[in-house]
Amino acid sequence: MTAKDSVTLLDLRDERWILFERKAHPDMYDAILRRAAEEEIVFRNGQKFLTAEDAAQLVSESLGVAFLSMPGALRIAERGSIVRPLEDKELQLQVCLASRADNRSKLVSEFVRAFMRRITQIRKPPQRVDPSKEDEKRSGPKIA
């Protein structure tokens, strides 16, 4: 599966699944199990996790494949895990924010601005830091 650009639930049918705890996101948890049943995939009750770091540990121990949010997946990808998006139109989460146009509240205005800044950051892939540049920042420029 590492050669693929994305995977489907059918691609994962023979793997052990590492799912987040239901209490972390009940709707998405139920949707994954519903889609597995629709695809006639037998879900083998595997490990559960609460944080992306817990999932990374379980994956590194070869206990299965983990289902993560994009920010969580990007965090563990920085540590060397291979991450692939799950392709399933039924398993997409949309985030919506609504505000009245005539609301003059500074609090609401600031919240909307902060939300838009954060959602933009989440959608961008993290920038890789060149270790040689990081060393240069700490010790100053190197003189030959």
Which residue's entry shows tokens 């559960």? 48
The reply to whether the predicted model has a pTM over 0.75 is: no
Tokens of 101: 């146009």
**Domain residue ranges in the chain:** 10-90
Which residue's entry shows tokens 């060397």? 80
> What are the pLDDT tens digits along the chain (144 aa)?
778 888 999 999 988 999 999 998 888 899 999 999 999 998 776 789 988 899 889 888 888 899 988 888 888 888 888 888 888 877 876 777 788 888 889 998 898 889 888 877 766 555 444 445 444 444 444 443
Rounded CA gap, 88 and 8, in Å? 7
Q: Is the dihedral of CA 2, 59, 20, 117 positive or negative?
A: negative
